[in-house]
Chains A and B, each alone.
Chain A
């Protein structure tokens, strides 16, 4: 088996006395989509922030391409090829698609004080990258504020891919989107996978996760309920585990108790 792009071993994170995460084992290989599923408060956010270099793990270790790493900042994670697209997207809605695409990493022409923003090149790349994912930016100089939510999400992802991400961490990219917008993003995730990227896709929507996921990691109350290959589980099983299947079973049992008590 090839070395996974990113792997965690018994990783945990505590904030004071609160155990936010513990014993997380997961790995993503190139060309694989890992879906991270969990209800609210399951620890999804803490996990991705740890992977993205915002937090440092309190225990366990994290490996990138087989080597243990410790990120001090999101910048470090980015340099290691791990790009996180947070829900707020890091986009400025008043700025053009091109200017957002290259924000912080503007291509320049010329040297020294005469180095200038290469607008022609930037416009062309932004258009091409967006075209690759099937989004037709009508005009790359239009403000990002004029794009739909799904398109914005795709610009953010395309930007991460263009700047050399090996692992994409997507934080609930489809949660605020309608059906057609969400499928646009899902199609792009599948595309990124086929280009050899590792994708960690965080969501609480099984219907979005199941079609594109290769493996599923379920989180509940800061712990992993296990990793499953797609072949091993059905959509219903995933849903059941996620929705706290155990709790539902207990509830069933309790209700049965009441029934017996009534009968008796």
Chain B
């Protein structure tokens, strides 16, 4: 606190024009996504305000969709700030799902072993992606595009080889008895919601239970992961290195930033985030499907870009990516409530992406040019 006052005194310079709050906000990477989210809620508030979208159940519904994408988007945003892409995260979701499901459902292995095993596979995949990218110097876009196909192919191939099918089910019962699975499934704050329902603040079902049993665990993971990522990015050495690697890797290397190590760790993070999403989905559905996570890599990149990440790296925000995912999830769910044909969702998505990219480009120019 004393630091801050000393700083404030030092900054009292008559040549420094008082920057308005609006101007300061405009320099933040997440501004676009926050403004976009406000617009989206205004829109659905007017168009679908009384359709049940904003009932407790509706809110939990779009929050859960946003959360699963958001976990992915936050990791992808960190990687993009670090100057790389990972197109294999969608396939990683599918792969991690069957790595958990096959041993658990087919061979009877305990979930507390299968889940860490899936994260182990993710660390390996991320390391592999990262190592090839930094060693060859090839664009990660291409390297992980190859990863996308290889990983998906392996997932389908092995699953059919072992189980004869492309889906693995029967995990519901196993998950209920496992102590580790509890971390990735169910709802949080059940007691609070029961209390809210009894107090008349929340709608009740006929039997007296609240309409929503609690906050889905995915939402907690999303908020927690986003908070940690933001802290790392803005308040740690490693965060500074991420910006440096994406901003100018030669410059970073020249001042002693371990660029290769930073990038490899970021690739591991995206793969682990995909595995986290897969774990939550598998335990929730009680089954794994080799096609899970299809196109999720692009959705995550879109959310990160809406959240202010530059495609060229070196700039962006984890909070922005969270808001990007929130917009995504809200529109995806909300469009059902408006009665508009869901075919139009993709049009909206594309337009949104285009606007975000143009806006980011404008912001970047503002940041790098003399004010």
Q: Which residues of A contact B (CB under 8 A)?
A: 74-75, 78, 86, 88-95, 99, 102-106, 108, 115-117, 119-121, 123-124, 127, 136, 138-139, 142-143, 145-148
Contact = CB atoms under 8 A, between A and B. Distances in A.
Contacts of A148: 370
B243 A117 contact: no
Shortest 7 CB-CB distances between A and B: which pairs?
A145-B368, A92-B247, A120-B3, A104-B256, A104-B255, A90-B254, A106-B237
Given A117-B239, A119-B235, A139-B11, A103 B367 contact: no
Contact of B367 (A78, A91, A117, A143): A143
A75 B7 contact: no
B6 interface: yes
Interface in B271-286: none
B315 interface: yes
Contacts of B293: none
Interface string B1-24: 001101100110101100100000
Nearest to B371: A146
A117 B236 contact: yes
A132 to B, nearest CB: 13
Contact of B6 (A102, A124, A138): A124
B250 A99 contact: no
Interface residues of B, number: 37
Contacts of A92: 243-244, 247-248, 251-252, 314
B251 A117 contact: no
A94 B315 contact: yes
Contact of A146 (B7, B10, B239, B370): B370
17 contacts: A74-B254, A90-B251, A90-B252, A91-B251, A92-B244, A94-B315, A94-B367, A95-B243, A95-B244, A103-B252, A104-B256, A116-B231, A124-B3, A139-B16, A142-B371, A143-B368, A148-B370
B224 to A, nearest CB: 15
Given A95-B243, A103-B257, A138-B16, A145 B367 contact: yes
A102 B240 contact: yes
Nearest to A109: B235
B364 interface: yes
Nearest to A163: B255
Nearest to B17: A138
B237 A94 contact: no
Contact of A99 (B4, B10, B243, B248): B243
Nearest to A147: B370
Given A143-B368, A145-B367, A146-B368, A117 B13 contact: no
A115 B240 CA distance: 13
B369 interface: yes
Given A92-B244, A94-B247, A136-B15, A124 B256 contact: no
Given A95-B243, A145-B367, A116 B251 contact: no
A103 to B, nearest CB: 5
Which of B254, B257, B368 is the most central at the interface, judged by chain A CB atoms within 10 Å of its CB?
B254
B364 A105 contact: no
A116 B248 contact: no
A75 to B, nearest CB: 6
A92 to B, nearest CB: 3
Given A120-B3, A136-B15, 13 more contacts: A86-B254, A90-B248, A90-B255, A92-B314, A94-B315, A95-B240, A95-B314, A103-B257, A105-B255, A117-B240, A124-B10, A127-B10, A146-B367
Contacts of B235: 116-117, 119
A148 B252 CA distance: 21
A115 B7 contact: no
Contacts of A86: 254
Interface in B173-196: none
A139 B364 CA distance: 18
A127 to B, nearest CB: 6
Contacts of B239: 117
A124 B370 contact: no
Contact of A124 (B7, B243, B364, B368): B7
Contacts of B16: 138-139
A148 B368 CA distance: 11
Contacts of A124: 3, 6-7, 10
Contact of B236 (A91, A95, A115): A115
Contacts of A121: 3
Highest count of chain B CB atoms <10 Å: which of A94, A102, A127: A94
A9 B16 CA distance: 51
Contacts of A143: 367-368
A146 B3 CA distance: 26
Most buried by B among A74, A92, A119, A139: A92
B240 A88 contact: no
Contacts of B234: 117
A104 B7 contact: no
Contact of B257 (A74, A104, A117): A104
Contact of B247 (A95, A115, A127, A146): A95
A157 to B, nearest CB: 14
Contacts of B231: 116
A123 B16 CA distance: 16
A143 to B, nearest CB: 5
B13 A120 contact: no
